[in-house]
């Protein structure tokens, strides 16, 4: 199977598991012999986007820059994995149009669950108004309408979420199927196929 580049774009609120899942997926893809590069938003901000703030304009610029790099990597048959809150639909859609092979993963998690797992207490402070412009509290997060994968990180285990992502990549023929690694039942695979069919992929 000739491997082609693609981008996996993780979006979701702070603490929803984007980076953790991105690293888990990276490890599996590397084990399967693919070339992979992870662009984590926190790391990108200290290098590619140093100096940008957290206004809507600066956030949009940051996401466009990550999308630009993902597109370059994808065109050169590398798997690009982006993990960024990316709160605005319009900029995510720009990247979707720019990048030929694009898989969006929405890490869904409630504010209650995020507050409980937040060891730094940032959500609690934001909810009390002690931190301003906090995404999902007093700054918007626009949930995706058409993400290829939705993982409910407030309810699923990491293993379940990763398996759902990998299975979707297999069904889309971005990566070869490895039946031994299949942790899904026939019904669960049918659900993934139905979602991809609704989105017009299969």
Sign of CA dihedral 156, 27, 186, 191: positive
| Separation in Å, CA 168 to CA 24, 78, 127, 152, 201 | 15, 18, 35, 15, 11
- pLDDT tier at 140 (50, 70, 90 boundaries)? very high
What is the tens place of the pLDDT at every residue in 51-61? 888 889 999 99
Sign of CA dihedral 120, 114, 88, 201: positive
> Is 86 a known active-site residue?
yes
What is the tens place of the pLDDT at every residue in 142-181? 999 999 999 999 999 999 999 999 999 999 999 988 865 5
Closest CA to 81 of 16, 156, 14, 30: 30
What is the tens place of the pLDDT at every residue in 79-131? 999 999 999 999 999 999 999 999 999 999 999 999 999 989 999 999 999 99
- pLDDT tier at 34 (50, 70, 90 boundaries)? very high
**Beta-bridge mates of residue 6:** 79
Q: Decide if pLDDT at 2 tops 70.
A: no
Q: Decide if pLDDT at 42 tops 90.
A: no
pTM of the predicted model, to two decimals? 0.91
Catalytic residue among 55, 86, 90, 185: 86
Please give the backbone phi and psi of residue 38, each rounded to the nearest 5 degrees, phi first: -100, 130
Write down the pLDDT at residue 106.
98
Q: Which of 105-109, 182-186, 188-192 has the lowest mean pLDDT?
A: 182-186
Write down the pLDDT at residue 51.
85
């Amino acid at each position: 199977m000739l491997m082609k580049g693609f981008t996996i774009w993780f979006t979701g609120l702070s603490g929803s598991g984007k980076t953790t899942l991105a690293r888990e997926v990276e490890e599996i893809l590397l084990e399967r012999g693919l070339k992979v590069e992870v662009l984590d938003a926190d790391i990108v901000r200290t290098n590619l986007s140093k100096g940008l703030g957290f206004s809507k304009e600066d956030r949009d610029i940051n996401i466009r820059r990550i999308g630009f790099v993902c597109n370059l990597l994808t065109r050169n048959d590398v798997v690009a994995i982006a993990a960024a809150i990316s709160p605005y639909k319009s900029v995510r859609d720009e990247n979707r149009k720019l990048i030929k092979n694009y898989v969006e993963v929405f890490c869904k998690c409630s504010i209650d669950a995020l507050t409980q797992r937040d060891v730094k207490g940032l959500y609690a402070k934001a909810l009390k108004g002690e931190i301003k412009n906090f995404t999902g509290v007093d700054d918007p997060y626009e949930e995706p309408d058409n993400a290829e994968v939705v993982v409910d990180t407030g309810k699923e285990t990491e293993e379940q979420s990763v398996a759902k992502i990998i299975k979707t990549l297999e069904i889309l023929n971005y990566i070869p199927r490895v039946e031994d690694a299949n942790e899904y039942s026939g019904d669960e695979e049918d659900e993934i196929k139905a979602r991809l069919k609704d989105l017009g992929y299969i």
